[in-house]
Amino acid sequence: MLAPAIDRRTRRLSRLYSATLELYLARQREELLQRAYEIGRQAIACGLGVLDMGRMHQRALAARASSKSIKEKRAAALKAAETFFLEALSPFEAAHRGFREANLRLQALTAALEGRNTALGNEVAQSRRSESALRQLSNRILHAQEEERKRISRELHDAVGGSLAGISVNLALLHKADGLRGRAAEKQIADTQRVVQEAMATVHNFAHELRPAALDDLGLVPALRSYLNRFARRTRLQVEFRASSEAERLNSEQKTVVFRVTQESLTNVAKHARASRVRVTLRKQKHGVRVEIRDDGQAFRVDKQLGANGRQRLGLLGMQERVRLVNGRLAIKSLPSEGTIVAAEIPFPTAGADG
């Protein structure tokens, strides 16, 4: 560490030392070494010792550690700096016999500075690589979001738009058909009601996929049970669900994470696993809740999927990121003849956390 406080004369001397050293490293003239000697004499007059000079020298080197000049011809620059420093210490030799020990300490400090600079360079390079990877992932996520928006737009246009057009046609016919009576009128009205119900079901499905109301109104366990019932009807897979009411101790954000992990896992099962049975369990642990989705379908290489570029990789990374944000842990295990297990452990919220 550098000396904590020095008087005005000493600070002026430190600035003079740094400026003279800078000139010597650039030109390496003999008269600059004479200036170094004079600085040493002034240091003695200020009451400074050898260790103080070593700290002054270290400060001068550290001030130029990030400049291009210190990075180019580093060995030669350090050797020249050592020569300058020895000259500045010349006036101390008669009074201070511990010069060699101080010089060795200075060399160790210089080597440590070199090591820190190297480590900092490695960290910067790693940070840049991570930043590049995050940008690529962000681009893929944005692309996936746009694709999902296109799908929703098409579904709304084709399903809801078509239904509303049918309703409009039926109402126009009813309006024009003054003589329409009895069963003909009843059939026309029934057809219109059916189209309305289909449109409402489509909108309800969209709303449920985006954010199930039961999750906010009834809680996590009822929302999962409702979703799993719908999933089983839609895919015709056998779905078993067991849950502990202790899961309701999780806060709103944590419940959403559990629901989305389950939803994404089941989506992958339906699309890729070729399974016949799925078991979802939600049980209390000592310090939190564990949700587990287990299927009997075909296995896959988890590391390979995480290294891929497709939608499934984004799904796995999305689950990992969601769980990480609530201080949880996610584990995925997939083995031939055993199927796949996705398990997330979510800690109970601490006191004062948002419920």
pLDDT range class, residue 10, cuts 50, 70, 90 = confident
Higher pLDDT, 163 or 316: 316
Range of the structural domain that residue 334 is part of: 213-347
The tokens describing 231, both together, are 């999933």
Q: Which of 87-91, 100-104, 221-225 has the highest mean pLDDT?
A: 221-225
Asked if 79 and 32 sit in the same domain, the reply is: yes
Question: Does the global pTM surpass 0.85?
Answer: no
Asked if 83 and 179 sit in the same domain, the reply is: no
Report pLDDT for 66: 53
Asked if 219 and 204 sit in the same domain, the reply is: no
Q: Is the pLDDT of residue 135 over 80?
A: no
pLDDT in tens, 241-289: 999 999 999 999 999 899 999 999 999 899 888 999 999 999 999 999 9
Report pLDDT for 4: 46
Number of domains in the chain: 3
E runs forming strands in the chain = 238-243, 277-284, 288-295, 329-335, 339-347
Asked if 202 and 261 sit in the same domain, the reply is: no
Rounded Cα–Cα distance for residues 9 and 38 (Å): 15
Rounded Cα–Cα distance for residues 50 and 97 (Å): 10
Rounded Cα–Cα distance for residues 337 and 299 (Å): 7
Report pLDDT for 208: 62
Name residue 277's beta-bridge partners: 238
Asked if residue 125 belongs to a domain, the reply is no
Asked if residue 1 belongs to a domain, the reply is no
Higher pLDDT, 156 or 3: 156
Asked if 337 and 229 sit in the same domain, the reply is: yes
Q: Is the pLDDT of residue 294 over 90?
A: yes
Asked if 256 and 319 sit in the same domain, the reply is: yes
Q: In what order do the strands lie in the sheet with 238-243?
A: 238-243, 277-284, 288-295, 339-347, 329-335
Question: Could you report how far apart the first and last alpha carbons of the chain are, in Å?
Answer: 47
Region 73-99: mean pLDDT is 73
Q: Give the mean pLDDT of the chain.
A: 79
Beta carbons of 330 and 343 less than 8 angstroms apart: yes
Report pLDDT for 239: 96
Asked if 140 and 28 sit in the same domain, the reply is: no
Asked if 229 and 343 sit in the same domain, the reply is: yes
Asked if 244 and 335 sit in the same domain, the reply is: yes
Name residue 292's beta-bridge partners: 281, 343
